[in-house]
Amino acid sequence: MEQILRTEYPRPQFVRAEWMTLNGVWDLAFDEEIYDQKINVPFTYESKLSGIERREFHEKIWYRRTFDIPETWKEKKIILHFGAVDYECQIMINGNMVMRHVGGQSSFFVDITDFLADRENELKLCVKDFHQELDIVRGKQYWKEVSEGIFYTTTTGIWQSVWLEPIAYKHIQKMRITPLLDERSVKFSYEAECSQNCTLEAAVSFEGADAGSFSVSLKSRKGEFTVKIEEEALVCWNTVEDLAWSPENPRLFDVVFTLREGETIWDSVQSYFGMRKVSVENGRFLLNNRPYYQKLLLDQGYWPEGLLTAPSDEAFVRDIRLAKEMGFNGVRKHQKVEDPRFLYHADHMGFLVWGEMASGYSYSGRLVEDTVKEWMREIDRDYNHPSIVAWTALNESWGVLEAAHSKEQQSFCKAMYALIKSLDNTRAVIDNDGWEHVETDLLTIHDYESEREILAKRYGSMERILKEQPAGRSLYAGEGCYRNEPVLVTEFGGISFQKDATEGWGYSTAVSEEDFVRRYRDVVQPLLESEYVQGFCYTQLTDVEQEINGLYTYDRKTKVDPELIRKINENKLED
């Protein structure tokens, strides 16, 4: 078996010097614990890069591998990390069950120190997936073995990186970073495992120059402090906007956190942040206090050889670069919690991201519980990334199919909005993207109309926008009503254009490159020219399996000249 590793650091927003990847070749067993397969982790058995590429359902699979702990780690706690495992798993170290985790999207970790032996250690996972149960957080994974329509190949088991980390018994557990752009300050909220004799320090820098520091004597495990960005270090910046992170100027500050006790350094963590502010005021979406037009792409985060798992770290960079070259400034990550490495590159390259949890399809108490837990873990993990400017709680009433009439399901939509706001009040939150909004910061609409004249009339006035039902669904449900939210068309287009042997579908069909460019212009230009629309999200970045409605093919080959797409997005294409 060819060994393909994802070896980049898996948690780039909270970096320690020592770590060990457990990606690579593991033993695998289907259904019963008979290890007769090898698999390349973190690729699932359904994918080509796993070395297996089998698409039949297995509701239970087993993983096994061994590892040794370096001698220098023996006096530290050993933490085992999983980027994501779909859907439910039990983790065993040397025959001892150390953790059970439910949810296929969120990252998790466990302290395995007390279960380790001086000799070689055995790690096993028993993973259960529920392929045909519709009330789990499943996203675009289909409940049939052969994908069709808008649903794709399922994902079973480990699909993001696995790794080990040694930490001191006194250490920094968590650090939440909140930029305060208007105050030219940054707030750090910490959790630490320490004694009252410890000191926590933060040293902020920009391009190597000191930009602020703070030191606090810890009186409890949790607390917060604020660091003012030093004017002397930033004399070239005359305004608040000069300081800010944006897609056009992705300025990032570095920060080093140090936990010490006297002369003893217990822990050191490197991170970064962007001075970025998202707000909605007087019916306008603002980035850094200025109106900002979002030109987004729907991004499913699928690759032909890795499915939900990117084949390499460079694959994230390539997708962002392709989108920016076409004049887009961000993506709506669709029905997937993306690998933190993607967010790291979005932060550094200047690229907006709408974060979105995978949805279930049928409403139940189980769906509510799993969705809430996954969202809490997702926001906790990715809060510090400046590229994320919005959270999408639900999509097109998936999981709340009776939202138009069910008060229970309307309450769930409203509760998800409130939950996310309670965890993160620094970003826009959309309760139910597409239609049947109950409470939302943005009025988002899904509209696959392909005729320019119809779109121009539809978005020519607020009265017409609120009256129309593009998908046969009302824009608001229950007590929801228009409260001057900014309007964005967050799914549209989806023009099918077959460029290779792949057959499939789209929401309309182009027969040539010239026809595609015309059709693309027909759906984009009415939105750009509407005084009421403040952004859009085109469907989609690439083809995915049977959907051939991407601007690129599934393997990221061009369909039309990217410069033509850019000119249309900038409303500069001449007739």
Lowest mean pLDDT among 95-109, 367-381, 494-508: 494-508
Predicted confidence at residue 327, as pLDDT, reads 98
Q: What is the pLDDT of residue 2?
A: 55
Superfamily of domain 293-569: Glycosidases (3.20.20.80)
Helix 340-349 and helix 313-325: axis angle, to 10°? 40
Lowest mean pLDDT among 186-190, 350-354, 499-503, 540-544: 499-503
- Domain range summary for the chain, segments of one domain joined by +: 20-167, 171-273, 293-569
Strands in 209-217's sheet, in edge-to-edge order, are 209-217, 199-206, 253-261, 264-273
Q: Band of the pLDDT at 241, cuts 50, 70, 90?
A: low
Least confident of 211-220, 262-271, 294-303: 211-220
Residue 30: what pLDDT?
A: 97
% the chain with pLDDT above 90: 91
pLDDT of 232 strictly over 90: no
Domain 20-167 class, CATH top level: mainly beta
Q: How confident is the model at residue 575 (pLDDT cuts 50, 70, 90)?
A: confident
How far, in Å, are 121, 293, 523, 530, 533 from residue 536 at the CA level? Answer: 51, 8, 11, 11, 8
**How is domain 171-273 classified at the architecture level of CATH?**
Sandwich (2.60)
Q: Closest Cα to residue 129, out of 66, 77, 184, 61?
A: 61
Q: E strand or H helix at 575, and its extent? A: none
- Indicate whether this model's pTM tops 0.85: yes
Q: Which amino acid is at 25?
A: V
Among 121-135, 173-187, 207-221, 315-329, the minimum mean pLDDT is found in: 207-221
Model confidence pLDDT, tens digit, residues 339-370:
999 999 999 999 999 999 999 999 999 999 99
Instruction: Judge whether residue 236 has pLDDT over 60.
Output: no
pLDDT band at 385 (very low <50, low <70, confident <90, very high): very high
Which of 559, 430, 550, 538 is CA-nearest to residue 492?
538
pLDDT digits (tens, 9 = 90+) for 89-98: 999 999 999 9
On the 0-12 / 13-18 / 19+ scale of CB atoms within 10 A, 17 is: exposed
427 token code pair? 């970003």
